[in-house]
Amino acid sequence: MTDSDEKLATENLAMVREQMSKAAKIAQRKVEDVRLIAISKTRSADEIRPLMEAGHRLFGENRVQEAAGKWPALRDAFGDVKVHLVGQLQSNKAEDAVELFDAIHSLDRPSLVKALAKAMDKLDRRIPCFVQVNIGEEPQKGGCEISDLPDLLQSARSAGIEVPGLMCVPPSGVHPAPYFALLAKLAKENDLSGLSMGMSGDFESAIKLGATHVRVGTALFGART
Ligand SMILES: *Cc1c(COP(=O)(O)O)cnc(C)c1O
């Protein structure tokens, strides 16, 4: 890690925090009520470390395998770090995921409720799981159907899984705000307070519409190659 890497990480972090503050202020919200998850997928430990040196402690990954290769060592170096899984999870990786992550943002089907509950029981470790909603009803995307949400929440709760809120990735190429508003409405209808929504291009809009967790990669680390 060079001084300039660290300087860039510090500057990017400060800039994103500033943008978050402005968005929160417009919405008359406290910026402390919005967690910044630095999405470190595809980034090496050397790219991640400057952000940790700058004081950041909450990260997100989208693949179990990749996270397993990077995070145990980084956790040893910075004991108080938290890592969330924000990508699709296969049921056969549920146990690895429960062991590795502090929260999951992609609970989206009954079979995964089962696999996660089983893994949590086996490891005697409970981690919160956001339920991902396929908010734009896109066939190729992860997330449960909007109409399946109440049943899925019910089954997660009866399996003893803590659900802090809902997560979405809106369709690309269209304005995301209506989808953020819809996710907020669904959360409210289901008595959930957490909203994992907003990425580099749209986290300010997400904050104005109630995001409690924004997932930001590119704006912190630069473009992925
Ligand atoms: C990659 C990713 C992000 C971050 O995207 P950026 O545009 O780089 O900020 C957020 N959420 C999920 C689910 C992702 O896969």
Name residues whose C-beta falls within 8 Å of residue 53's C-beta, 6 or more positions apart in sequence.
1, 6, 9
Q: Domain range for residue 110?
A: 3-221
For a substitution probing ligand 1, which of 36, 39, 58, 197 has the most ligand atoms within 8 Å of its CB? 39
CATH assignment at residue 128? 3.20.20.10
3-state class of 103 per DSSP?
Answer: strand
3-state class of 190 per DSSP?
Answer: coil
Decide whether any atom of ligand 1 lies within 6 Å of the 41 Cβ.
yes
The predicted model scores a pTM of 0.97
**Closest ligand 1 atom to Cα of 203:** 9
CA of 200 to the centre of ligand 1 (A): 7
Instruction: Give the pLDDT mean for 203-210.
Output: 98
**Closest ligand 1 atom to Cα of 224:** 8
- Per-residue pLDDT at 203 exceeds 90: yes
Decide whether any atom of ligand 1 lies within 6 Å of the 214 Cβ.
no
What mean pLDDT value characterizes the chain? 96
Alpha-carbon gap, residue 191 to 197, rounded angstroms: 17
Rounded to an integer, what is the distance from CA 184 to the centroid of its chain?
Answer: 16
- How do residues 155-199 score in pLDDT, each as one tens digit? 999 999 999 999 999 999 999 999 999 999 999 999 999 999 999
- What's the distance, Cα to Cα, between the start and end of the chain in Å? 19
Number of domains in the chain: 1
φ, ψ for residue 195, nearest 5 deg:
-135, 105
